[in-house]
Each structure stands twice: as C-alpha cells, then as structure tokens.
Copies of this chain bind each other. A is one copy, B any other.
Amino acid sequence: MSKYAFGVDIGGTSVKMGLFDEAGNVLDKWEIPTVKDNKGSAILPDVAKSLLARMKEKGIREEELMGVGVGAPGPMDDQGTLLSGAVNLGWEPFNIPEKLGAYIKVPIKAANDANAAALGEMWQGGGKGYDSLVAVTLGTGVGGGVVVKGKILVGADGAGGEIGHVHIEDEETECCNCGNKGCLEQYTSATGIVRLAERYLAQTDVPSVLRDKRVSAKTVFDAVKAQDAAAMEIAGQFGDYLGKGLAMVSGVINPEIFVIGGGVSKAGEILLSYIEPYFRKYAFGKCKETKFALAQLGNDAGIYGAAALILL
C-alpha cells in the first residue's frame, strides 16, 4: 500500500500545499488564498476542505495518508501550539494539530514556517545528506531555523534560530524592527544590504554603477559580478557581518552545514564566496570547516518541511 503525506505552508496571502510520497517526491502542488477575515477562522477549514477534495480526486483513502504537516508563521512549541498567535493570519494562540484535526482525521503535526523550511532544506534541498544544519533566510528580514539530529530546535519561547536578531554591531545608532540596535538583520537582509550600500556610497567618492540607479540587494550583487569596486566593498561588509554572526552560531551549536536561502541568495555562489572567508576568520578551531550551501527549494521549502514533519 503506497503511503502519502501532505505538506501545508500557511502564509499571509496564500496557503501552499503539496502531496508527497514516502520517498519525499512531490506528486502534486497547489495553493489556495488565505482568508484572514474573522481572525482567520476559515483558514484551517479551507485547508481541510482542499486536502479532502484532493484525496477524493486522487483516490487516496485516509488509511493511506501518513499525516498532514503544517507550517505557519509565529512562535510555536514542539507540540504545534502557537505561543503568541500568528499576527499575519489574525490567529490567537491555539494548538494547530488539534484544531485542524477536527476536520481531517489523520496524524497532524505543526511547526513554525521558518523552522519547517529549514527541515525541508535538510530533507530534500541544500542540506540533503546532513542531519544538523542551520538554515539562514536572507529576505526582507533575516530568519533562521536550526535542525539538530533531524529535529527542529524550537527553543523555550519558540525563538530558537532567531539569528536575525543576534547582536553584531555596537556602534549602530538606528533601531532594528525588534527595537534593539545592531542586529544581524540590519546589515544582512535585503534591506540591510541597501543600508550598507547607501552608507558606503554617501561616505566615499568611489565611482560605481550603483550611483546611477535605485540600489537593491540584486543590483549590489549584479555589480559585484561586474567587478564594481564599491559593490565589492559593500559585499565585503555584508560578508563580514554575516560570517561573524554565523561563526557565533557555530560556536554555540556547531552544525554540519549552513544553508543560505531567501531572496538575497538568488545572487548565487558568489554570495557564499563573500561569507565563507569571514566565517573562517571568526569561527572557533574545529568549526572553521563547517560547510556552506545555497538553499535549493525556494518557496517550496515550507511544504517540503511540513511534509517532513510527518515523513522523517
């Protein structure tokens, strides 16, 4: 009897869903809109309805389904209980497996979406073959997920892997979104890279293609690829901050590999060439050889990781 699992990734705009076989192949994927009205009370019923319809369509019986894994935003404990709700969805704190289980009678597990994405990358993405990794998502902010021996490290308050808010710079004068000053996110997120670039361009006269246009993380790394001296200097600052931050992370949990994802990682391998040397400069002895890879699953990491909650 073949066995299946669903991976569900609930976002503020849409819910992504995937049907997986036991070996981790995605057999089908689709999405539905996230209906946030009435404190998001329709979201889980909508998910269940969509999953049950897909089962009917594919002729999958409940006893063939190993379970449903769910990733959702917001800090969550390892039982899938939201610790302080999910602001983006309008959700108050509750236990996701329990609530979804009212509509679909199979084993259900849930995890924070960033943590699930880390697990997904370990299972079928950039961290395949490893069982302890730190996934770093360089997007609008900087997120992270820690997996140790194949299990998500949730943390006492669901704040495990919140590496975007590791303190990295004593001299910062502007506040991070979190209220602190000098967080890793302020220098290594897409917006952080723009900040670094704007500061550098304002403080120097170095000629640069970046002076002619609106600066983004993409234009910075495109300019790096074109050997633009200013862009290379800015990328070096980015790499110093991120390498230093990840060296700290490695001194605490000593993962096998760092998997770098998020929009900024679209720059490709050149990004790693700006992180790894700084990482090795700051890392403790035996951690210096920790591996680095780019994330491979993109926006599908969440559904893979959610399915992995069931299949791993």
Say yes or no: A157 contacts B254, CB within 8 Å. yes
Q: Are A162 and B254 in contact (CB under 8 A)?
A: yes
* A-side interface residues, number (CB < 8 Å): 45
Chain copies in the assembly? 2
Per-residue CB contact flags for chain A residues 159-170 toward chain B (1 = under 8 Å, else 0) read: 111110111000
CA distance A250 to B165 in the complex (A): 10
B166 touches A252 (CB 8 A): yes
**CA gap between A106 and B84 in the complex, in Å:** 46
Chain B proximity mask over A243-283: 1 for CB below 8 Å, otherwise 0: 01001111111111000000000000000000000000110
Is the C-beta of A239 less than 8 angstroms from some C-beta in chain B? no
Q: How far is the CB of A276 from chain B (nearest CB, A)?
A: 16
Answer yes or no: A18 CB below 8 A from chain B CBs: no
**What's the Cα separation between A163 and B155 when bound, in Å?**
18
Min C-beta distance of A156 to chain B, whole Å: 4
A252 to chain B, nearest CB (A): 5
Let me know if B153 and A148 touch, CB within 8 A.
yes
Instruction: Tell me the minimal C-beta distance from A74 to chain B in angstroms.
Output: 11
Which A positions have Cβ atoms within 8 angstroms of B? 75, 78, 83-84, 132, 146, 148-149, 153-163, 165-167, 178-180, 183, 244, 247-256, 281-282, 284-287, 289-290
